[in-house]
Structure 1
Amino acid sequence: MPVHSLATVFGNISSSQLIVGAITFALIIFVKAWAGGRKCTWERDWKGKMILVVASPTTTIITLIDTLLHLPSPPQILFLPDTKSPLPESLLTLLHTIKLSSISKNPSAQLHCESLPLTPESIRNFVIKWNSSPVQMVGEGGRRVDCIIFGKGWEVDKSNFLSNLTKNEKEEEIINWDNNQFKFHFLNSFLPLLLKSPLERDIRIIQLISPTWSSALPALASSLNNLTKEEGEKTKKIRKLDLINGTGKKNLESLLCFKHFQIILDTLEAIQRGKVKPIPNPEKPEENLKVRDTNVKSNIKSISVIMPWARDEVLKGSLVSSPLSKLSWILFYPLILILTPSSKSTVQSILFALSAPVREGTIDDTPKVAEQGKEIYEQRRNGVAGGDVIRDCGVVDLPPVLSDPVLAKAVYEELEKQVEKGVKESQTKSKLQKAQ
């Protein structure tokens, strides 16, 4: 019967129409494959290693966790969503399903989950608990960490701008970090634990960057500061154009902060090895400048990954606001499926940042041929180093303004002041609550 039904449907179609249909179908497949981008071809042995995934439970993050747990040598994963405790049953059910699916194929796969809201108190409590593990359960350098993935802040979402002070049901003021403040506080609180790790251990700190970052480049000279408290109160009425530009500005700030953070890591490593030498100051001969050996690199590498235009996290937040736009989204969704990458394609650059080998030295763009008849060696897709920016499974260069160390230092120090102020306020409130 199916054969007869198909014959009835397609029996009156001419051969020319079939050829056009076949070409159209092939074109759709080609466009879909092109929109998905490159795939990561590197595989890394993650057996016995630990990855911290600090992110909201979005489609991309869930796909990333599922992909990592189904690797031949899967890592241990500690998922830290910014959801208040207790975690929703729907999230726990989903994570439990992923864990059972991976364990059935590889018993060494491990997935754990714990709430980590964007507050100073939650970071302090997490670091205390991390340090309080029994001695017999950890190594000499403490509990092992091989990678930290910051997967929040790249989505085009109003919640990324809701920072500063909010009130809970008891009308008690609570300090809430925005994404950049949270990353800064978490990294600086966790840094002493990372520095104790053996030098041969490759530790990667990865942040996800929104593809909207380039929209904020024209306004970089005028403002790179966070939204003010008054602007934060107006985010409910924010226009979509402002939302895209606001997300881009915050991600530019993230790029600059990670650039300066890598300089700090390399400097600490140079100091530890005694590779910081004094040289005369040309402006003040009576003083000396301390200059580090730029060839010394830290085993802790900060890497930024520019994400593609994911349909759920970026495109939907950029386009859908009014009832008419929601209807248009539904009508054009088949076309969106073709022109945007799937969640499995979206995570490929993250997998590249996680698994690509360490690159020594700087990138030489001069094409090199290893042997006659061999393909050209692509250095940008064959390794990563601290401070690299990844896009489409390869290292990319940013505009010169984002390579300015003075600007990166200024943005880093401004963020440091904000975090110090918030931590002091949090500690003061905590003492007052205990005194009561």
Structure 2
Amino acid sequence: MPVHSLASAFGNITTSQLVFGAISFAVVVFVKTWAGGRKCTWERDWKGKMILVVAPPTPTILTLMDTLLHLPSPPQILFLPPLTSPLPESLLTLLHTIRLSATSSNPAAQLHCEPLPSTPRGITEFMQKWNSAPVQMVGEGGRRIDSIILGKGWEVSPSSFIPKKEGEWGNEEFKFHFLTSLLPTLLRSPAERDIRIVQLISPTWSAALPSLMNITVEDTKSKSKIRKDDLVNSTGRRNLNSLLLFHHFQLILDTLEAAQRGKIKPVPNPEKPDERLKVRDGHVKSNVKAISVIMPWARDEVLKGSLVGSWLSQVSWILFYPLILLITPSPKSSVQSILFALSAPVRQGIIDETPKVADQGKEVVDQRRNGVAGGDVVRDCAVVDLPPVLSDPALAKALYDELEKEVEKGVKRSKEQKAE
């Protein structure tokens, strides 16, 4: 009998062993809770709103969509994986399961999927479909967009070193062309609509921070020959560029909003009195907010790609997997910062943590967890500050201009190939 077996196995346990077991269990629970990080406590009414999820079908992204669809007021989600048509049957089955699970409890939850290859032609075809809806169905402003999640590029993967196919773009070129193609739709949206563009940043960004120089890695088709330090630093370097580009992109959005409201005024140039500079009102902010989310060390997207390469590391990964499960956040915990960036209230003004006499004796509100604004960087469900070099406007503009030229070349080359 099972009861007799358990009694014989644990009948001779001493009190000290029981205490040790209880302490060990408490330590395991504490470590697991600590590794999971903070939870998002904000909720947003997503009923009737549209979220575009542009990301590969990783465990974190699938968990994010499942979590959003199971909210009390779920959104409509259009999932755009960077894959070619037709989509794999396994992915379609998985998405169908998520949709059935959500619609069974709330019929308002909707999940649709279309492939979006990382090529100029792929974006062009998508925009043609997106803009082809009749005005009577979608209104004068076009299809509604309330949020865009850019979830590609934060993973540590040896596949990023494989030479790209002809005409295929990198993640930065793809994001640039995709956002600029949707920019007219975003700018036509009503001013009261809260639109958030969220990009996911790899936790390896800090590894590349000591040097903003480009990291060169020898081209090789063999993934096992890539050194792991190069892999981590290269991923971090690309994500540093993403942080700089999003900082400049938010500046462009605010400038366009100020120009639309007529809040750009000419002022004398102190260096050249004969010239006038156009300066925008710094208090004018766009309703389109570009927010970066620094992701945790997810076991599948980051940690596995950083550690597993050779057969020996694969065996070690299997042996230590129980410990990895304990000290790394689950996909459900990894999506909490994304939910915070999507659902937290809009913060007005900058974060001012200077103690005030009027606030003495009152409950202090954590401004970093109380809201988000355009250009913010979120980590562990709170707004964080980055080193000043990542806010350098000259460096951000130089990267933006260089990327713009690369995208223009890619679009021109795609049109020439299509004409042939």
**Distance change (3 Å), C-alpha of 1:369 and 1:132:** farther
AA matched with 1:21: G
Alignment map for 1:12-411 (pairs within 5 Å) = 12-162=12-162, 166=165, 174-220=166-212, 222-223=213-214, 231=218, 236=223, 237-367=225-355, 375-411=363-399
- Tell me if structure 1 keeps the 8 A contact 2:161–2:220: no
- For the aligned residue pairs, the C-alpha RMSD in angstroms reads 1.6
Contact 1:161-1:235 within 8 A present in 2 as well: no
Q: 1:367 to 1:234 in 2, by over 3 A?
A: farther
Q: Alpha-carbon deviation of 1:400?
A: 1.0
How far the C-alpha of 1:374 sits from its partner, in A, is 5.1
TM-score, structure 1 normalization: 0.93
Alignment-mate amino acid for residue 201 of structure 2: I
2:80–2:114 Cα contact (<8 Å) kept: yes
Q: Which amino acid aligns with 1:141?
A: G
* Structure 1 contact 369–376 (Cα < 8 Å) conserved: no
Tell me if the contact between 1:368 and 1:376 (Cα under 8 Å) persists in the aligned partners.
no
Residue segments in structure 2 that go unaligned for 5+ positions in a row: none
What do the CA deviations read for 1:60-107 (whole angstroms, capped 9, x no partner)?
000000000000000000000011100000000000000000000000
The CA deviation at 1:20 is 0.6
Question: 1:419 pairs with 401, 407, 411, which one?
Answer: 407
Separation of aligned partners in 1, 2:80 and 2:111:
11
Task: State whether residues 367 and 376 of structure 1, in contact with CA within 8 Å, keep that contact through their aligned partners in structure 2.
Answer: no
* 1:159–1:370 CA distance, 2 compared to 1 (3 A): farther
Q: Over residues 382-428 of structure 1, what are the superposed CA-to-partner deviations in whole Å (9 max), with x where a residue is unaligned?
A: 10000000000000000111111111111111111111111111111
Amino acid at match of 1:138: V
Looking at structure 2, the residues matched to 342 and 315 of structure 1 have their Cα atoms a distance apart, in angstroms, of 12
Shift of 1:8: 1.3
Distance 1:81 1:147 in 2: 16
Q: Aligned-pair distance for 1:24? A: 0.5
* 1:411 to 1:391, Cα distance in 2 relative to 1, 3 A: same
Q: What is the letter of the counterpart of residue 104 of structure 1?
A: S
* TM-aligned CA distance change 1:291 to 1:233, over 3 Å: farther
**Gap change, CA 1:103 and 1:317, over 3 Å in 2:** same
**Does the aligned pair in 2 maintain the 1:270–1:292 contact within 8 Å?**
yes
**CA deviation vs aligned residue, 1:325-354 (integer Å, no higher than 9, x gap):** 011101111110110000000000000000
Distance in 2 (CA, whole Å) between partners of 1:94 and 1:251 is: 29
Residue 175 of structure 1 aligns to a residue in which SS? coil
Label 1:132 to 1:290 Cα distance change in 2 as closer, same or farther (>3 A).
Answer: same
Deviations 1:115-169 (A, max 9, x none): 00100001011111100012222123111000000000000012334465x2xxx
Structure 1 residue 372: deviation in Å? 7.1
Corresponding residue SS for 1:115: coil
Structure 1 Cα separation of the partners of residues 248 and 222 of structure 2: 29
Shift of 1:367: 4.7
User: 1:188 offset after TM fit, Å?
Assistant: 0.6
How many correspondences in the alignment? 419
Separation of aligned partners in 2, 1:195 and 1:335: 48
Task: Give the equivalent residue in structure 2 for 1:169.
Answer: none
Specify the SS of the correspondent of 2:209.
helix
1:4, distance to aligned residue in structure 2 (A): 2.7
- Report deviation, 1:223: 3.2
> Structure 2 vs 1, CA of residues 428 and 48 (structure 1 numbering), >3 Å: closer, same or farther?
same
CA contact (8 A) 2:167 2:410 kept: yes
SS in structure 2 of the partner of residue 264 of structure 1: helix
Equivalent-residue separation in structure 1 for 2:226 and 2:399 (angstroms): 25
Cα drift, residue 7 of structure 1:
1.7
Read off the aligned partner of 1:311 and give its amino acid letter.
Answer: R
Tell me, yes or no, if the aligned pair for 1:163 and 1:176 is still in contact at 8 Å: no
Q: Which amino acid in structure 2 is aligned with residue 345 of structure 1?
A: S
CA drift at 1:23: 0.3
Quote how far apart the aligned CAs of 1:231 are.
4.9
Unaligned runs of 5+ in 1: 167-173
* Comparing 277-286 and 267-276, the one that deviates more: 277-286
CA distance in 2 between partners of 1:372 and 1:296 (Å): 31
Specify the code of the residue in structure 2 equivalent to 1:98: I
TM-score by length of 2: 0.97
Q: Which residue of 2 aligns with 1:170?
A: none
Q: Is the 8 A contact 2:346 2:372 kept in 1?
A: yes
